[in-house]
């Protein structure tokens, strides 16, 4: 699909990370961007950066919305219609996401369902809300951001990762099923599945900020650290919070792929008409490893090979 000046893109999770990078690169091309996020402050920063680098007349609008709530997503859609004076959009980027909800067996149900609702229902509600506006466009594209955890439901042995992985698997299956659905019922609208590896985003920081690191979560993180050999059994809750905060910063700042690189890869894939986009060399390597030995994917030796730079 051609991406060009004057088109309109709706984008969830535009406040930070890949969402911000997409907004910056789209607006720099003269694409009008309508973004939503739960953080008005983060969106305001994105908006200022976008307008500083965009051609004159490019619109960049912001709506506060929690995508796990359908009413909020519908309000975002209505804001796009009103603020961009349009009955159609050309691009929809379902990018908003959160971490958390690791264990299904003994984890906190509310935390599990909040993670799943943002990462899956946020995509579903947004696709439902904006599909008529995409169909009304001469050409359109839905870009759904899944994850490598959409084909490998693990962070390694001993670390449950169920809510996030289940949601990202759902996004993957939904997007692949949409290929035939759209070709049959709206052939001028395409869809793209994005599966990033480790990208330098603030998803962990944002997740901890949203949950304020309650004592129950601190206990879970302490247990995981002890199991991994860290001498933190007697550390205070505040010390654990500080360690997790630093790990979240390291996740963002020491990633092998930057958010800007990820956004460029995504947009290049959309232009090339690809429906499946892996982001980062680590994503390509993990995809190859899972395909080569799917029955071994959840064995300790697989995770060890992955950590040690296993076969590509």
Q: What is the 3-state secondary structure (H, E, C) of the chain?
A: CCCCCCCEEEEECCCCHHHHHHHHHHHHCCCEEEEEECCHHHHHHHHHHHHHHCCCCCCEEEEECCCCCHHHHHHHHHHHHHHCCCCCCCEEEECCCCCCCCCCCCCCHHHHHHHHHHHHHHHHHHHHHHHHHHHCCCCEEEEEECCHHHCCCCCCCCCCCHHHHHHHHHHHHHHHHHHHHHHHHCCCEEEEEEEECCEECCHHHHHHHHHCCCHHHHHHHHHHHHHCCCCCCCCCHHHHHHHHHHHHHHHHHCCCEEHHHHHHHHHHHHHCCCCEEEECHHHHHHHHHHHHCHHHCCCHHHHHHHHCCCCC
Contact in structure between 107 and 157 (CB atoms under 8 Å) = no
Q: How many CB atoms lie within 10 A of CB 63?
A: 22
Strands 60-64 and 32-37: parallel
Q: Active-site residue 164, yes or no?
A: yes
Beta bridge partners of 60: 33
For helices 162-185 and 109-116, give the axis angle rounded to 10 degrees. 30
From the list 124, 164, 208, 298, the catalytic residue is 164
CA distances from 99 to 30, 78, 165, 211 (A): 32, 28, 10, 11
Catalytic residues: 164
């Amino acid at each position: 699909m051609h991406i060009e000046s004057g088109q309109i893109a709706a984008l969830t999770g535009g406040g930070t990370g890949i969402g911000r990078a997409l907004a910056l690169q789209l607006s720099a091309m003269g694409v009008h961007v309508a973004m939503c996020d739960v953080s008005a402050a983060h969106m305001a920063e994105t908006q200022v950066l976008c307008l500083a680098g965009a051609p004159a007349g490019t619109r960049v609008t912001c709506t506060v919305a929690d995508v796990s709530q359908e009413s909020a997503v519908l309000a975002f859609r209505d804001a796009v219609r009103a603020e961009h004076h349009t009955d159609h959009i050309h691009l929809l980027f379902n990018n908003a996401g959160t971490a958390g909800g690791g264990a299904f067996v003994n984890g906190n149900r509310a935390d599990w369902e909040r993670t799943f609702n943002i990462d899956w229902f946020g995509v579903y509600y947004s696709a439902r809300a904006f599909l008529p506006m995409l169909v009304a466009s001469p050409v359109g594209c839905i870009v759904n951001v899944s994850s490598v955890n959409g084909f490998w439901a693990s962070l390694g042995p001993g670390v449950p990762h169920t809510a996030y992985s289940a949601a990202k698997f759902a996004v993957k299956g939904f997007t692949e099923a949409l290929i035939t659905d759209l070709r049959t019922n709206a052939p001028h609208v395409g869809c793209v599945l994005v599966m990033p590896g480790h990208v330098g985003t603030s998803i962990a920081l944002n997740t901890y900020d949203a949950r304020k690191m309650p004592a129950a979560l601190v206990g879970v993180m302490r247990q995981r650290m002890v199991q991994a050999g860290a001498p933190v059994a007697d550390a205070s809750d505040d010390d654990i919070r500080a360690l997790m905060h630093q790990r979240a910063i390291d996740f963002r700042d020491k990633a092998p792929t930057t958010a800007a690189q990820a956004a460029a890869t995504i947009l290049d894939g959309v232009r090339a008409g690809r429906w499946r986009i892996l982001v980062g060399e680590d994503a390509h390597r993990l995809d190859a490893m899972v395909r080569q030995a799917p029955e071994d994917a959840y064995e300790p030796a697989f995770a060890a090979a992955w950590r040690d730079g296993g076969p590509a």
